[in-house]
Structure 1
């Protein structure tokens, strides 16, 4: 029983250590992972796992290793922010794989980058014909970014010299979640709660029926209720 209790305590310590380490290192380590970020994440996970269940190693020994590794990552990331050469060394440079609709096979071979994976990433960028691509490159975090040739790009209001209505705010404002009004968002954006209640009344919706309500940048209010009135929803498992 004592061993089980020790493992439980060590697991809690491991979780807290990993959480604090992730908060210290920022979002980059857990989102857009370069080669260095990948190595750092795997190593932190391995050390944390040992901290959780390897009872043959003292807690303080593993935690010192964990703290040292977090410190090393922090120093590397801090130095990378200040020095471009260090940043390029650890993060790397993007690699061009398509230029003017033609594949650069040499660059693809250097990265051991397959055609199947290229096609998958192109489709994720809504590109199904490589001839449409002006330039495409693999970023240091492994994602593909592509710029279509001018004749294949989407037409915007700017291209047509159309006047756009100014946005009332930059991002959508969440007003309600799970039937509860988000008072803070209303106050920060000078929105009266009575106005929101009037909008619900106009649509014949009760407050408790609202799952999600958001005010779009164009000023339109989107409301989703718990009951969608769809006879055969496609999201059933």
Structure 2
């Protein structure tokens, strides 16, 4: 039972930490992010398993994590508002070539982040050519070009 409670606790802690870190953390992985991810995974592994390195303990932990993830999936599907609370909602960052700076500050997204997505995804190099830039739930920025 201790393994199940450990897995549940770590799952919830990581969910809260990444919610606080914001979607920007999901946008692009830098070298620092990779190092941080490796350290987090090692610390998580130790917290999940404690001193039990048995196959049974690992299997129980994995099953618990999958079941908890499935449970959250069902909650998001059947209870209104849960998905928005857990995953957030899309945020418009640019509207008709104009930066919405208050939304950008809230999402911790810079002009350079938006323009990088515009260049890579649409070949757009001017803000005026963007009708909408939308920060999606998964941390990516969708660019809708302005019609000419």
| Fold match by TM threshold 0.5 | yes
Q: Larger Rg: 1 or 2?
A: 1
Unaligned runs of 5+ in 2: 1-21, 27-36
2:116 aligned with 1:138: no
What CA distance in whole angstroms lies between the structure 2 residues aligned with 1:110 and 1:62? 39
- Deviations 1:15-74 (CA, angstroms, capped at 9, x unpaired): xxxxxxxxxxxxxxxxxxx96xx7xxx7xx559956xxx894232333322221211111
Unaligned runs of 5+ in 1: 1-33, 152-237
2:57 aligned with 1:57: no
> What corresponds to 2:84 in structure 1?
88
Give the RMSD, CA atoms, in angstroms.
3.0
- Structure with greater proportional helix content: 2
Runs (4 or more) in structure 1 with deviation over 6 Å come to: none
Larger relative contact order, structure 1 or 2 (CA cutoff 8 Å, min sep 6): 2
What CA distance in whole angstroms lies between the structure 1 residues aligned with 2:138 and 2:88? 9
Report if aligned partners of 1:99, 1:136 keep a CA contact under 8 Å in 2. Answer: yes
> What corresponds to 2:147 in structure 1?
150
- What TM-score results when the alignment is normalised by the length of structure 1? 0.40
What CA distance in whole angstroms lies between the structure 1 residues aligned with 2:96 and 2:129? 8
What CA distance in whole angstroms lies between the structure 2 residues aligned with 1:57 and 1:94? 41
Name the count of aligned residue pairs.
110
